[in-house]
Amino acid sequence: LASYPAISSPFTEERHQLKIGFAQVGTESGWRLAHTNSVMAAAKEEGFELLYENADQSQAKQVEAIRKFIQARVDIIVFSPVVKTGWDQVLQEAKQAGIPVILSDREVKTEDDSLWTSYIGSDFVEEGRRAARWLLQELGSRGRKVQIVELQGTEGSDPAAGRKQGFEEVIGNDFNFQLIESLKGDFTLESGRALMSEALQRRGGDIQVVYAHNDDMALGAMQAIERFGLQPGKDIVIISIDATKTALKALATGKLNFVVECNPLLGPQLMKAVKDHKEGKELPMKIITSEGVFTQDSAKRELQSREY
């Protein structure tokens, strides 16, 4: 059900300075497309060869991709894991082959932390907190029950776990806020639309807020609400995470209410880390990108310069 076209790597012709194997999650979202493009463009800029593999959100395919990179004797593996666990074996194989692994965008949970070199990406727990803080500020203090439907990203993935944890931590401070449904999606527009339309069938107008773990699911929920005959952004508040151009447009026109930024433009930082590592410099275990939040007003201003 991927909504974006698969991309093939343009960097396979000639071996330059360094050969990087990039094992990407898939093509599930607008954010993912921007992330892939950023990594490819930054590698090209540096004159590095980049081997790209798209796992279509399948852990098995991603393991296969990493093994291919080991066989191709790449200098470094860049990896955005579909889910957090289940990587020890293949990362051990990379370590035995002497190939360092940098995690881009999502973290893994391994028995042995020396199986990967560094993580470059967001603080997903903080993103969830930011979403909930805005909600409490906007709808708290009214003394009324606020019923929330959460649309989760891929089960077992780092962003889905972190965004859930941070959000629950903050709404737990006000008993008026109730998470009435927490539904398992996969970061695609289609899953957001289907889950939200089922929730509306079950709950009718008894939903005040949708908290979507990414823009694509929020945009899908927006469509489901419209099809149900309600007004997204007015009858039901929608909060999202990513801040892609499409979501910022919907925010600026009042169909979404608040968007937390998750920065996909990790390519330049990633290439710097690759170079530093190759020069023997020690990399920090975590390099966290700086990110903001958008309201309906600030989205209008941001849209003029948004690249993705």
Name which of 86 and 140 has its Cβ closer to ligand AHR.
Answer: 86
Name which of 153 and 208 has its Cβ closer to ligand AHR.
Answer: 153
Least distance in Å: CB of 57 to ligand AHR? Answer: 9
Least distance in Å: CB of 158 to ligand AHR? Answer: 7
Name which of 58 and 176 has its Cβ closer to ligand AHR.
Answer: 58
Least distance in Å: CB of 217 to ligand AHR? Answer: 8
φ and ψ of 104, to 5 deg: -115, 120
- Interstrand relation of 258-261 and 286-288 (parallel, antiparallel or unpaired): unpaired
φ and ψ of 51, to 5 deg: -95, 125
Rounded to whole angstroms, the Cα distance separating 236 from 227 reads: 13
Least distance in Å: CB of 244 to ligand AHR? Answer: 8
* Tokens of residue 166, six digits: 């941070």
Under 8 Å between Cβ of 85 and 108: yes
Least distance in Å: CB of 178 to ligand AHR? Answer: 25
Name which of 81 and 208 has its Cβ closer to ligand AHR.
Answer: 81
Interacting residues toward ligand AHR by CB under 6 A: 28-29, 31-32, 105-106, 159, 187, 214, 241-242, 262
Name which of 150 and 242 has its Cβ closer to ligand AHR.
Answer: 242
Least distance in Å: CB of 35 to ligand AHR? Answer: 8
Name which of 251 and 262 has its Cβ closer to ligand AHR.
Answer: 262
Least distance in Å: CB of 143 to ligand AHR? Answer: 33
Under 8 Å between Cβ of 118 and 94: no
Under 8 Å between Cβ of 32 and 24: yes
Of the candidates 29, 11, 298, the residue with the CA atom closest to the CA atom of residue 190: 29
Cα Rg, the chain, nearest whole Å: 20
Could you tell me where the beta strands, DSSP code E, fall in the chain? Answer: 19-24, 49-54, 76-79, 101-104, 118-121, 146-152, 177-184, 209-212, 237-242, 258-261, 286-288, 293-294
Of the candidates 45, 42, 99, 72, the residue with the CA atom closest to the CA atom of residue 53: 72
Name which of 4 and 228 has its Cβ closer to ligand AHR.
Answer: 4
Least distance in Å: CB of 125 to ligand AHR? Answer: 13
Could you tell me where the beta strands, DSSP code E, fall in 15-152? Answer: 19-24, 49-54, 76-79, 101-104, 118-121, 146-152
Name which of 35 and 133 has its Cβ closer to ligand AHR.
Answer: 35
